[in-house]
Chains A and B, each alone.
Chain A
Amino acid sequence: MSNYYNTTRRLNEFEFVNNEGDRYLVYIGEYFLEHERATDENDLIKVNHIGFSCRRLAIKKRYLFDHKSQATIKAIFLTLINERPNDAFVYLCDNSDKRERNRRITFGRWIKESDQERQFSTYNMHIKVAQFDATLILRDNNPLYHRYKSAFEFTIHKYYT
């Protein structure tokens, strides 16, 4: 028996449905960070916002943790990151249900558990004023490693301090 759910890959998203009938969608959006050495207002650095959404089949039913759903999302994330080794990825944990810290810890653990060859670095920033956590994920051999990290920090400081 597979440890993963069957996944459908489309132009803009991955999709799978777990044994509970819950539907998961994983996507990447394109955004731009600012940086301190910008030569003009359009000198920006592209990053990918990687995220997932879930539509539960039975909303009122108590959620039961599903290892196979977690493993499938992790596998999709790693596939997407590995396919774009020179890109930078941002994952956000919002505070819509006061659980952003739990999500950030869980996400960090996912990356560490999945990254058995120790190829990735993650940088987390807690933005207290806006109540969310932002994590930057980069491959250690990314040629723009320091540029991405610097722009990530610069943009957060610019808008939140």
Chain B
Amino acid sequence: MNSTKKNTSPQKKQGNPFAQMLEDKAKIDRAVAQGKLPSSVEGIKFVKLL
């Protein structure tokens, strides 16, 4: 089936963006506490800073 939807994003599938931010932040905090980088957490779209 052809899709004509615009701006399709993983976020839409996730519903409440604030709940997702909090959940992702908790995952990032756990990763950092284990000595890993935030970007090691899968499933989060990070904005490129360079």
**Interaction A to B:** yes
B49 with A11: CB separation less than 8 A: yes
B46 with A28: CB separation less than 8 A: yes
For the complex, count residues of B whose C-beta is within 8 A of A. Answer: 34
Q: With a CB–CB cut-off of 8 A, which chain A residues contact B46?
A: 12-13, 27-30
Q: With a CB–CB cut-off of 8 A, which chain A residues contact B50?
A: 9-11
Which of A13, A40, A43 gathers the greatest number of chain B CB atoms within 10 Å? A13
CA distance A96 to B31 in the complex (A): 16
Mark A residues whose CB is within 8 Å of B.
9-15, 23, 25, 27-34, 40-44, 47-49, 51, 53-55, 80, 90, 92, 94, 96, 127, 130, 132, 134, 155-156, 159-160
Provide 7 A-B residue pairs closer than 8 Å at the C-beta atoms, listed in order of the A residue. Answer: A12-B37, A28-B46, A29-B44, A30-B11, A31-B11, A32-B17, A49-B21
